[in-house]
Amino acid sequence: TQLLEQSPQFLSIQEGENLTVYCNSSSVFSSLQWYRQEPGEGPVLLVTVVTGGEVKKLKRLTFQFGDARKDSSLHITAAQPGDTGLYLCAGVTDSWGKLQFGAGTQVVVTP
């Protein structure tokens, strides 16, 4: 059972379009991380959000942490083919070294 539910599972869009990925949980996390993973590689950390209501921007990517620290979203503006990948959200738990991952959202951006 995934404590973190990601939606949608798959997203296919054209270059230049916008997209939003959601990460929801019934649990409160002290912080939440977003990763992007490409085939055959390990996840690469994009951002960590810590404070409820926090918004962080990374170029064309905007990350938001819900006020209650139970949900988060990732919005990509004017997507490019280089944004293609598996986007994973992960909750930071109180257990040493343990991240609680969502199932991931596969994003495909076609030229």
Partner 1 sequence: KAGVTQTPRYLIKTRGQQVTLSCSPISGHRSVSWYQQTPGQGLQFLFEYFSETQRNKGNFPGRFSGRQFSNSRSEMNVSTLELGDSALYLCASSLTGTDYGYTFGSGTRLTVV
Contact call for residue 103 and partner 1 (CB under 8 A): yes
Buried b (16+ CB within 10 A) or exposed e, 26-48: eeebebbbbbbeeeeeebeebbe
Binding mask 2-31 for partner 1 (x = CB under 8 A): x----------------------------x
Give yes or no for residue 42 binding partner 1 (CB under 8 A).
Answer: yes
Q: How far is the CB of 63 from partner 1 (least distance, A)?
A: 13
The string over 78-87, giving b where at least 16 C-beta atoms fall within 10 Å of a residue's C-beta and e elsewhere, is ebeeebbbbb
Binding site for partner 1 (CB under 8 A): 2, 31, 33, 35, 40-45, 48, 50, 88, 90, 92, 95-104
